[in-house]
Structure 1
Amino acid sequence: MSVHDDLTSVQRCLDDLVRSVGRLEQQLGADGLEMRRVRTDADHLRESVALLREAAPDLVEPIRPDLVTIPDTPYDNSLWTDSDDEGLGARDRHAP
């Protein structure tokens, strides 16, 4: 996996965590010290992943495939002398 794929996976997991923490807050209330600590920790994780995403382009250069130029000139017809016309069969044979 690339760094970008790993960061995307971490972001998805973090989004799931934040949603779960929100549901817990609704069930348990947001007033308790423990719930506030969990919410703060989740927020810190979110900020840290955002910082990693910003730094990721500097960590790894994206791998770009080599470009292949295709000429606009027609192909040499002698390349196709030994092939059959697709779907039509060979010139010297009949369809059944």
Structure 2
Amino acid sequence: MSVHDDLTMAQRCLDDLSRSVGRLEQQLGSTDLEMRRVRADADHLRESVALLRAAVSQPGSSRRPELVTIPDTPYDDSLWIDTDDEGLGTRGRHAP
């Protein structure tokens, strides 16, 4: 099965879920916190699948991100002159 077919199947399942949640809202009401949470989760899933479909449909989206090399050389100490040592307080002052 292709990615497009899997995304279509996922979209159909989400459509079924949305209809079921709608029926539950009619029966239970939409003011209940749990019902609002279920509706929000279903909507988030729908948005996530739409974003995934858009990402897959873009040409070149299967490329791996470019790696960034981080040098092993130490940082310049002058970059840290105006900072505080975390947990130790400000320089020149004593902890209580």
Same fold (TM over 0.5): yes
User: 1:53-91: per-residue Cα shift (whole Å, max 9, x none)?
Assistant: 00112239xxxxxxxxxxxxxxxxxxxxxxxxxxxxxxx
Answer yes or no: is 1:40 the counterpart of 2:40: yes
Structure 1 residue runs without a partner (length 5+): 61-96
- The number of residue pairs the alignment matches comes to 60
Aligned sequence identity (%): 78
| More RCO (CA 8 Å, sep 6+) | 1
Corresponding letter in the other structure for 1:49 = V
TM norm structure 1: 0.60
The residue that corresponds to 2:13 in the other structure is 13
Q: Distance in 2 between matches of 1:35 and 1:27?
A: 11
1:10 deviates by 0.1
Structure 1 moving runs of 4+ over 3 Å: none
Instruction: Look at both structures and tell me which one has the larger radius of gyration over its CA atoms.
Output: 1
Map 1:1-96 onto structure 2 (within 5 A): 1-57=1-57, 58-59=61-62
- Give the root-mean-square deviation of aligned CA atoms: 1.3
Corresponding letter in the other structure for 2:32 = G
Structure 2 residue runs without a partner (length 5+): 64-96
1:5 deviates by 0.2
TM norm structure 2: 0.60
